[in-house]
Structure 1
Amino acid sequence: MGKPDFGIDFGTANTRIVTSGGGILFDEPSLCCFMGQADRGELVAAGSAVRSMLDRTSGAMMVARPLKRGVLSDIAAARDYLAYAVQSSVGQRRLRSFRAIIGVPADATNAERSALLTAANDAGLGSVQLLAEPLVAALGADLPIELPQGTMIVECGAGTTEAAILSLGGICATASLRGGGDALDGAISDHLHFRHKFLIGASTAEKAKRELVEMFHDGVDASVSIRIKGRNLANGLPGAISIPVSDLHPVVEKHVAGIAAMVLNLLSQIPPELSRDIHDGGIVLTGGSAEIGLVGRAIVDVTGLSVTVADNHAHCVARGLQRALAH
């Protein structure tokens, strides 16, 4: 294929479209709203306009997420969303003339890759190339991956968390958890449901997570509470509940412990020269969920290695795509 025109960071939570010289053209939530089923209904809205519709649709309307756990879950929604995103970026020009790079999880199966390519082609795009997200994120984080030395990155996305060892411009070893920031949202929601008999929606769970992350970052006292609104299952009525940070701390700890265990397992399988490099260079976190401070602390606790969060960590994949386009 010829030189790509733009890169697409097609994420579980957000999608970004970039060009090599024009910056970010598009940055909106990966959401669609249909009248009827996604595979045969009419697209009502997509992107930012749908965020406020979550758990609030009526009648035959439904909100769809094109991706879950980092890979395509609804090919029709992905097709319509990509068409919307690209047209929002370039206008009503003929899409078949455009070529694109799209980031995918390093462990995506052939079937998952094929489904994404089909959705992109059905959306009207021309030639599409897929690149592994850990490699792209490392480019965006300014890591020296082209050198003959090991570099380790943990890409903390909404749908998947990937750890990778890179050297000489490629991936030497990788591991992943199909569950990122969205999985923590779900764990918080489940905890409130089963322990406190209180039901909340996806948007409220994400808001609670962000409040917790900010509190952990600021080092607030564990007795401080956050106020959450939803439905009291004891009486079925709308209500609010105050939950101490200490009550939700174990939920977050369990989530980050899984990430730390994945990192530890990957490190135990690599050659000794790469191990030496990682010991010297440490581990770099990228992705939107890298802001959860307990992730870095948990990795430090189990590995003893230094851990840093990349600058502008949420946009590392998008920046990496820009660099890939330039070369």
Structure 2
Amino acid sequence: MRASIVPNVGDVMEARMRLKDWLVATPTIESPVLNELAGTRVLVKAECLQHGGSFKIRGALNRLLLLSHGQRSAGVVAYSSGNHGHAVALAAQWLAAPATIVMPRDAPEVKLRNVRRLGAEVILFDRFTEDREQIASAIANERGAALVPPFDHPDVVAGQGTLGFELAAAAQARNLQLSAVLIPCGGGGLIAGSALALKAVFPDCEIHAVEPEGYDDTARSLAAGSRQILDSQPATLCDGLMAMTPGAISFAINKELLAGALNVSDDEVLRAVALAACDLKLVVEPSGAVALAAALRRSHSEHPCVGVVLSGGNADAAVLVRALTE
């Protein structure tokens, strides 16, 4: 058990080797239209094309592969607004492990359907009145199952970081230096792991978290130098980024490696979802589009080359219709 240990770049490298035969090396694409709108050259990491439709399978599978056969046979338990639950259910199906996923009642229907389709048991909770971590921990203790947190575990963070190495390799293949990278941020696991990888390849690269308006816990925590807890949960289209405080492990990395954090509005996110569909020909969910929304704001137009991560593509049809019509 090493849940209190902060992972390092060596852990991310090991995860990359462990996962390489399991996952899609998702494409890094460019668009002249996007470059013009962003005011700089943009490399888009299309992680919405990953197994399960998001980056989450990287951390979930890394965690499960590091469990013993006996531990997997006892089952795994996760709590998730959707994509992490889908990823754990998928990894559990691949490895023949029973899976139970604790999900909010108001999770997008597409995410609930995807988890159930993979054979996982779904336990619903009220995100405004109940504590999902307590519910999942109680189930895991009762069943002797392994807990798979969505971001605050070293194996999960290391797995997520493999995305950073892929993005860096794509830039190097084009003989480009990434001077800035924008990454969606909820609990901070993806950006923490990716920062370890990106900084190993491009030490001077500025890495910025992007959060939805009302959920600037990472921005506040970076400013304060310690983890801050939000005192409200406003409505947002970005259901996958509604973290109230950064993870302890992820923030230990992020406070050292991140250059800052930005926040974007739902209107900006809808514009990004529409651009991804019409120009990039990619389906991207609101949570997965926040970094693109920040790039469209021309937030980093002074940089010669900027990386943007599209972290997930499990969008409800109604959201896509709204984005394309508004």
Q: By the TM > 0.5 criterion, same fold?
A: no
> Which is higher, the Rg of structure 1 or of structure 2?
1
TM-score with structure 2 setting the length: 0.30
Which has a greater percent of strand?
A: 1
> Which has the larger helix fraction?
2
